[in-house]
């Protein structure tokens, strides 16, 4: 449930910040009014420590960035439908992810889809390789692929399962001609 800070809390937040925007340090005046923002994004957490007074420009920029991050992470959900090494279907119910050190939040996100999410480290149930698929997103740009470089191992599209003629190396971004998705494969441990 979305809540606002009380007038008393707003006054305390402003005083703690010396009546300036917490992000750009613009002094609040008659024509520059503060907007009160929840630092952690949890609108039910109305403690003064979770509050910040920011100007409208900073508030708009912060909201845009948060919306973009949410959009990108939504596209990651269920992206990995096949192991790129052996083409095994990656249904998350086949994996013991809770024992893989996932937080409760990560587990909830994965549970929204039948398949694995991009940027999720997993061990393929079939080939037993430990890997992560990174979805290339124009909004974010290329994330660095820093796993082991293994030659000629990526054989299938992780999204549509299309087979590639010659196998492709790991740690490079691949554009699937079949489904038009772009992804990279980061390998932690390869089992041939």
Selected residue with higher pLDDT from 154 and 93: 154
User: What span, in angstroms and rounded, lies between the C-alpha atoms of 107 and 97?
Assistant: 8
**Tens of pLDDT along 107-159?**
666 556 678 888 888 888 889 898 989 888 776 666 777 777 889 999 999 99
**Tens of pLDDT along 65-85?**
888 877 777 888 888 999 999
Burial class of residue 95 (count of CB atoms within 10 Å of its CB; 0-12, 13-18, 19+) = middle
Instruction: Look at residue 141 in the predicted model and tell me its pLDDT.
Output: 67
User: What span, in angstroms and rounded, lies between the C-alpha atoms of 72 and 138?
Assistant: 10
Contact 137, 72 (CB under 8 A): yes
**Long-range residue pairs from 32-37, CB within 8 A, at least 24 positions apart, any chain:** 34/10, 35/59, 36/4, 36/5, 36/10, 37/62
Instruction: Look at residue 115 in the predicted model and tell me its pLDDT.
Output: 84
- pTM, two decimal places: 0.64
Q: Please, what CATH class does the domain formed by 7-71 belong to?
A: alpha beta
**Domain ranges (residues) in the chain:** 7-71, 77-189
Residue 13, H or E segment = helix 7-16
Q: How far apart are the first and last CA of the chain?
A: 50
Instruction: Look at residue 158 in the predicted model and tell me its pLDDT.
Output: 93
Confidence tier at 58 by pLDDT (50, 70, 90): very high
Asked if residue 5 has pLDDT above 70, the reply is yes
Helix, strand, coil shares of the chain, percent, nearest 5, are: 25, 25, 50
The 3-state secondary structure of 113-132 reads CCEECCCCCEECCCCCCEEE
């Amino acid at each position: 449930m979305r809540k606002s800070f009380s007038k008393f809390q707003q006054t305390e937040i402003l005083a703690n910040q010396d009546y300036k925007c917490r992000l750009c340090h613009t002094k609040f005046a008659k024509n520059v009014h503060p907007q009160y923002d929840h630092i952690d994004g949890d609108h039910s957490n109305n403690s003064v420590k979770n509050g910040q007074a920011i100007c409208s420009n900073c508030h708009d920029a912060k909201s845009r960035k948060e919306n973009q991050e949410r959009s990108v992470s939504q596209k990651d959900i269920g992206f990995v439908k096949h192991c790129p090494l052996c083409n095994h279907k990656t249904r998350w119910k086949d994996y013991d992810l809770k024992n893989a050190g996932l937080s409760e939040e990560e587990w909830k996100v994965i549970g929204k889809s039948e398949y694995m999410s991009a940027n999720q480290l997993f061990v393929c149930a079939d080939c037993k390789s430990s890997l992560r698929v990174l979805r290339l997103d124009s909004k974010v740009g290329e994330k660095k692929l820093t796993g082991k470089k293994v030659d000629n191992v990526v054989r299938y599209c992780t999204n549509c399962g299309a087979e590639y003629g010659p196998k492709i190396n790991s740690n490079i971004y691949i554009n699937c001609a079949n489904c038009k998705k772009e992804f990279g494969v980061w390998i932690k441990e390869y089992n041939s």
